[in-house]
Each structure stands twice: as C-alpha cells, then as structure tokens.
Amino acid sequence: MVDGRVNAMRKTTTLTALVLVLPALVVAQAAIKVGSLTLKDVKTIGEIDTDQIKGQPSRVAWSPDGKELYVQVMDGQFGPTPPAKLTHLVYKVDGGDRREVQGEPEWLTDYWTAKSGQASPDSPAFRIDLKSESRVEQTVSTPMGGALARGGTDPGATGGDAASAAYNRQAVPVHTMNLHGQVVGEYVNSVIVPGQTFGWGPTGSKVIAYSAIKSGRLTVMDESGKRQEFEGTKDTVFPAWSPKADRIAWLEKDGRKKYILKVITIS
C-alpha cells in the first residue's frame, strides 16, 4: 500500500515537472516571424582595436546562459595553415566588462557547429548553396559589406607597387553562398570562412542572420525566403544569435583597425 502511494506520488511529480517544462520549450522553439520584427535596445558592448590586439576577428559566440559573448581574434590569415596566435576575449553582455582567457570555452564547438553549418539546425532543406567560379575582379585589400574576402594583393603583379597591385583587374576565384536567391556571403580570391557572413538561429527559430552583400546591413531571413533588412546597421560581420533567439550580436567594422561589438534585442 505504501509502495503504491509512493509510485503515485512519483508519477504526479513527474507529470507536474513536464507541465512546467513544456511551456518553456514551446517558447524557446517558436519560429520567428520575419517581416514584422523590430530592433530595440541597440547596445555597444565593447571594441577591438587591432593596433592593440594584433589580428582579425575569427569567431563570435554566445554563452549558453546568454550572459557572455566570446570573441576570438586570429593573428594570421584564414586557411589551412594554423594561425600564429589566437586571442580569446570574453565580454559581459550587461556592462561590457572584458577579460582575456587562455582558450576557447568548452561550449564553443557545439555553438559554432550549429551557427556556421551549411544547413539550418531545423531542416536540411533550408540550406546554403555554394558556387565557385573564375571572375575578372578589381581586387581591393579592404573588406566591403558582405563581400568580406575582397582582399590581398597579387604577389606576381609587375612593378612591385602594393597600391597598384591591390587594384589590379585580374581573373580570381570567387566563392558565393546563395540562399533563396540571396547572396549571404561572397569570397573573392580567398577561402570560405563559415559563419563569418551569416549565423543560423537556434533550433526552432527557423531563421538565419546575414550581412547583405551590397549594404552590409544586418538581415534576417526565414525558411520561406522572406527577409527583413535593418537600417542603421552596416559592415556587419559574424552575426550570432543568442540561445533564446531574442538577441543578435555582431561585429561592426569601424575604419581600418577597429571592430565594434554590438547587441540588439529583437521583438
């Protein structure tokens, strides 16, 4: 008789726990409705001065509790060769306090795999198509908008003038990322860097954030292809969704040597 009562109490406790958890799961997994989104509470969290921290940003990610942002700075070029040095920075979202840590957070791999994959965490069909071609381009050394890899000089250019070489027109490989007819990343004479121009939303949100190819504005697209571009944003790189899909962080290029870390709330 006692055992029966204990088992009944256990079942009741389990059912109560499920009832309490299910509403939270429903909220966390609700798909975002693109088209009626508004941005509010745009915050500047901090800045990265590449005169002080040598290199270029290589990752932006949210901690699982949404209270911190991890920013990785790479001293070197993207590619198969390991960088000479990685700097690991952690920012408090509230207050912007920054500290340098010794390595990547243990949760980074899972976050980055979901953020930078070729397909959405929600559906294999919501997938980025890759196209590679050779194109005659006027190469420049400074990334512009969503075309982040329009960089580098031609070491074989005649004259040895770096300024002239940087603006030569030449046939170069171009790698383009396409999604629902939109370019969500373009790399000219450079390797593709997953997650640099885009970031998938967490499971259930069914969205992607990316840098518009011409304006560099932060843009959100859903799995139907409906999209919304946000004015007031520019030169966005490494857009990253918070775990609850209620905020987006990104780095905004400010001049040649600075990046501003920003966060917006989406409603």
Pair (119, 72) in one structural domain: yes
Structure tokens that stand for 75 in this block: 């001293």
Pair (143, 115) in one structural domain: yes
Cα–Cα distance list, 47 to 8, 10, 17, 96, 251 (Å) = 57, 52, 43, 10, 9
pTM over 0.75: yes
Pair (50, 1) in one structural domain: no
Pair (138, 212) in one structural domain: yes
Pair (152, 79) in one structural domain: yes
The single residue listed with the structure tokens 């580098």 is: 152
188 pairs with which residues across the strands?
174
CA angle at 202 for the pair 41 and 231, rounded to the nearest 5°: 35
Pair (15, 41) in one structural domain: no
Contact indicator for 205, 168 with CB cutoff of 8 Å = no
Pair (16, 68) in one structural domain: no
> Cα–Cα distance between 249 and 29 in angstroms, integer?
19
Provide the domain limits for residue 17. 1-29
Pair (82, 177) in one structural domain: yes
Pair (126, 185) in one structural domain: yes
| pLDDT tens for the 267 residues of the chain, in order | 444 444 444 444 343 333 333 343 334 458 898 888 887 888 999 999 999 999 999 999 999 999 999 999 999 889 888 888 999 999 999 999 999 999 999 999 999 999 999 999 999 999 999 999 998 877 654 333 334 443 333 333 444 455 555 566 788 899 999 999 999 999 998 899 999 999 999 999 999 999 999 889 999 999 999 999 998 899 999 999 999 999 999 999 998 889 999 999 988
Pair (17, 103) in one structural domain: no
- How many domains does the chain contain in total? 2
Pair (58, 127) in one structural domain: yes
